[in-house]
Amino acid sequence: MSHQYWRLRATCPPAASRYILAATIIFALQTAFVVAGKEEARCRAVRTTMVRAADEALGYYTMSHPTGALQAASRDDVRKRALGAVHNVTLALADVNEHGGFERCLPEAGSDRTAAQISYALLDMLLRGRPKARERLRTLEPFGTGVPDLFSDSLSWSELVHSGWPVFRLAAVIESESRSPLTTPLLGMRLDVQDASEGCPYNHEEVGHLMVLVAGEGITARINDVRDFLRNNFEGEQTTETRFLLDILYAQPASSSCQAVLAVVYAALADALQCHWKRPRSRATHIFADAVLDRAQKFAAIAFTGEGAEARSGFTWGAGPLKDATPMATFFSSRWPVLSFLARLEPRRLPKQQPLGGQEAEWPAVVSWSTREEELGGMNWAERFAAEVFGDLPGIELVADLECADIYVYRSKRPVNFGGVLIFVDGEKDPGDSEQDELLEKYPASIVVGPQPASGNTALHFAVPYAALSFAGRQHHSPDLLSAPWRARDSTARAMANGGLAVHPAPERRFAAYLAFKCWPHRERFFSLLSDAARSRGLTGVDTLSRCGDSDASEGDRRQDRYSQNYMDDAVALFSHYKFALVFENHMSPRYVTEKIANAYLAGAVPIFWGSPFVLQVFDPRSFIRVNSFDNFEAAAKHVVDVALDPVAYKAYLQAPVLRAEGNASWYFSWHRDMSAPDGRPSLREQLAEAALEKHRAGIGGVMPAIERRPWYYAELFR
């Protein structure tokens, strides 16, 4: 076995920082020129260009980070102007120096003059470029004759640098910057080669080349190339891969002068390991990803806090790193891309670092969802759904917000560059309506749970109406309440309407309620017909509980109850004061039976339904009034009023079972644990979990086409 060494190289800090330094110095220098206010034309010219440069530089500086990473927006413009302005200063200074020297333009004596002289020496050093600056640094008076004379003999440069005076800190930075070669070895990576005579395998060679990050001086670091390489090549034989990954992981910083760059390198690797695997991740991959991430965070911490910076060889004069005790979390919330990137990658769950070589099966399949799926009232339907379907299953772990999970439950918050099994759970809108169709159609590891399948035959489809799925978003009800007698539903709903306090004696329920947020004409027409029919026979009209129905009533009149929970729980509480509830679907489409009819049942009100005939496969026709089964709306409205005036008929509706006994009715709800499938058949949750795990095991996920781009290119960080 022989060892092979690679070096990652990068200029650090990147070239941009030279201009930031120059601009900062000009900013300091201009003060002296302004204070002196010499009216000689050349002095005035220098002053004007400096004021302009300081202005531009300030703009540039506020868009940049001390490490030289710039915010992307309009960076190029600002940068060009800043560089132009600095250039103009150098021209004006050269001109004045040719005609008697710049010191003529300074105040005659005092601290402003001294500061200006030092600043000028620094600027001169910086603008000369590295080779000249380095040459100068070899002399005893690196910042020019005269400058040390300004101070007492007893002060060494080192002491000055430690004085905390900004200009000396700048001096230290410039020295370090000037001494470092154009490219600095960044990371040493040892690669163990089994047979030295055979050399490196091809892919190792190639990554070796790729990992030469030539940054600054016009050439950009290509970390994204590294990532792409990893993505495309690590599919070979497991042991080679593992060995190779270990080499990357335990690579030693060859020069630690730019921790931020190392942080980015590791972040890119972590990204490659976590999300871009073309096959199911192995346990080893998990461990690597987390370990690499850990390194990325450590380097970021060192770069920004100076914590643990002993290894930092940095400044000859010992200008120490800043000693902010800022915790990592603060950086994560900062705008700087690499840090927020790291925050995104940060594992919520840090796996125990088990020794490599254990059994693959020990690693659980991770099921995740976004906490941003949360709905009004703080209810996260996806969390509930995942817990009901996958909770407590052996070999499964539930973790929120893990973008690189094995199985991901979503409706609108889909993960980025995902490679696992994707479960789309319909929320009334089918894949086509919710703009998920294109993705689900193409992605082989997708499963759709909802009324409509995705286009094509790629995604597995479980046909389930939203009436059943809506229970994932309800705070107070589980679907088994639908199987309970009316009395139980009635008291649950009224307890809820009373804020969970004691159940009051049943108030007289009013006639009927109409609650809708889109005033479709068919609903509006039935509302008027029913209101008129009821009034003409001595009942009150239909109460409007929302913006639809009665355009005369104010919002306040229509809605006395507060918005207490989410809209579904709210609807149940509101309906609990009524005998009937109008629950018309928005439109007619296959299996389109939504949460509305369930709201009425849960409130103990008789639903007046209009919509897909599929409703008959879910709900018992004796328990609701189906408007579509009448010849016309008038006949249906008359029937409702008849029932309202006939206590026996009304009671028959209340006492009828809600769910249809035959067929699959309870199966639709059996994604929830409280509901089992009929006739001892497998429940929906069992079928769904099995299907997802089978896809996971088969590894037919693959890499999802980047549906959302990363918000930046790593390369951008170095421009």
Ligand X SMILES: *[C@@H]1O[C@H](CO)[C@@H](O)[C@H](O)[C@H]1NC(C)=O
Kindly state the greatest CA–CA separation across the chain: 112
Q: Which residues of 406-422 are buried (b: 16+ CB within 10 A; e: fewer)?
A: bbbbbbeebbebbbbbb
Distance CA(694)–CA(519), nearest Å, equals 44
Q: Which is nearer to ligand X, 15 or 51 (CB)?
A: 51
Q: Which of 421, 416, 432, 581 is nearest to 515 (CA)?
A: 581
Rg (CA), the chain: 35
CB of 663 to ligand X, least distance (A): 5
The angle subtended at Cα 286 by Cα 285 and Cα 291, nearest 5°, is: 95
CB of 444 to ligand X, least distance (A): 22
Q: Which is nearer to ligand X, 53 or 530 (CB)?
A: 53
Q: Which of 333, 354, 360 is nearest to 344 (CA)?
A: 333
Q: Which is nearer to ligand X, 42 or 52 (CB)?
A: 52
Of all residues in the shown chain, the one whose CB is closest to ligand X is 84
Distance CA(688)–CA(418), nearest Å, equals 20
The angle subtended at Cα 596 by Cα 450 and Cα 492, nearest 5°, is: 110
Candidate residues 7, 42, 52, 204; the one interacting with ligand X per rule CB under 6 A: 52
Q: Which is nearer to ligand X, 102 or 667 (CB)?
A: 667
Q: Which is nearer to ligand X, 49 or 242 (CB)?
A: 49
CB of 681 to ligand X, least distance (A): 6
Q: Which is nearer to ligand X, 52 or 489 (CB)?
A: 52
CB of 344 to ligand X, least distance (A): 37
Distance CA(659)–CA(675), nearest Å, equals 12
C-alpha pair distances (Å), 661 with each of 649, 656, 666, 676: 21, 11, 8, 13
Q: Which is nearer to ligand X, 492 or 670 (CB)?
A: 670
Q: Please, which residues have CB within 8 angstroms of residue 642's CB and are 6 or more apart in sequence?
A: 649
CB of 99 to ligand X, least distance (A): 18
Amino acid at position 591, single letter: R
Residue listed under structure tokens 């940054």:
215
* Residue 334 φ/ψ, nearest 5 degrees: -75, 170
Q: Which is nearer to ligand X, 434 or 664 (CB)?
A: 664
CB of 51 to ligand X, least distance (A): 10
Amino acid at position 335, single letter: R
CB of 617 to ligand X, least distance (A): 6
Q: Which is nearer to ligand X, 140 or 661 (CB)?
A: 661
Q: Which is nearer to ligand X, 84 or 711 (CB)?
A: 84
CB of 496 to ligand X, least distance (A): 32
544-573 residues in contact with ligand X (CB under 6 A) are: none
Q: Which is nearer to ligand X, 70 or 167 (CB)?
A: 70
In the shown chain, the binding pattern of residues 61 to 90 toward ligand X, with x for contact by CB under 6 A and - for none, equals: --------------------x--xx--x--
**Cβ–Cβ under 8 Å, residues 705 and 479:** no
Q: Which of 177, 176, 119, 178 is nearest to 150 (CA)?
A: 119
Q: Which is nearer to ligand X, 81 or 510 (CB)?
A: 81
Question: Is residue 44 near ligand X by the rule CB under 6 A?
Answer: no
Structure tokens at 21: 């330094």
* Backbone CA torsion sign across 309, 148, 88, 61: positive
CB of 115 to ligand X, least distance (A): 24
Distance CA(697)–CA(120), nearest Å, equals 67
CB of 463 to ligand X, least distance (A): 8
**Cβ–Cβ under 8 Å, residues 704 and 422:** yes
In the shown chain, the binding pattern of residues 634 to 673 toward ligand X, with x for contact by CB under 6 A and - for none, equals: -----------------------------xx--x------
Distance CA(61)–CA(28), nearest Å, equals 14
CB of 78 to ligand X, least distance (A): 11
Distance CA(232)–CA(680), nearest Å, equals 47
Structure tokens at 355: 């020794």
Q: Which is nearer to ligand X, 84 or 395 (CB)?
A: 84
Structure tokens at 540: 């009150």
Q: Which is nearer to ligand X, 264 or 468 (CB)?
A: 468
CB of 406 to ligand X, least distance (A): 25
Considering CB under 6 A, how many residues would be counted as binding ligand X? 9
CB of 670 to ligand X, least distance (A): 9
Candidate residues 681, 686, 707, 716; the one interacting with ligand X per rule CB under 6 A: 681
Distance CA(109)–CA(503), nearest Å, equals 88
Structure tokens at 637: 């409205």
Q: Which is nearer to ligand X, 81 or 558 (CB)?
A: 81
Q: Which is nearer to ligand X, 189 or 464 (CB)?
A: 464
Q: Which of 688, 670, 612 is nearest to 451 (CA)?
A: 612
171-200 residues in contact with ligand X (CB under 6 A) are: none
CB of 687 to ligand X, least distance (A): 7
Using CB atoms within 10 Å of the CB of residue 74, give its burial: 0 to 12 exposed, 13 to 18 middle, 19+ buried. exposed
Q: Which is nearer to ligand X, 23 or 272 (CB)?
A: 23
Q: Please, which residues have CB within 8 angstroms of residue 26's CB and are 6 or more apart in sequence?
A: 50, 53, 54, 57, 86, 89, 123
CB of 468 to ligand X, least distance (A): 13
**Cβ–Cβ under 8 Å, residues 483 and 670:** no
Q: Which of 161, 186, 459, 190 is nearest to 318 (CA)?
A: 161
CB of 601 to ligand X, least distance (A): 21
CB of 684 to ligand X, least distance (A): 8
Distance CA(401)–CA(414), nearest Å, equals 10
331 sits in the region (left: phi over 0; alpha: psi -120 to 50; else beta) called: alpha
Q: Which is nearer to ligand X, 388 or 570 (CB)?
A: 388
Using CB atoms within 10 Å of the CB of residue 471, give its burial: 0 to 12 exposed, 13 to 18 middle, 19+ buried. buried
CB of 81 to ligand X, least distance (A): 5
Which residues of this chain interact with ligand X, rule CB under 6 A? 52, 81, 84-85, 88, 663-664, 667, 681
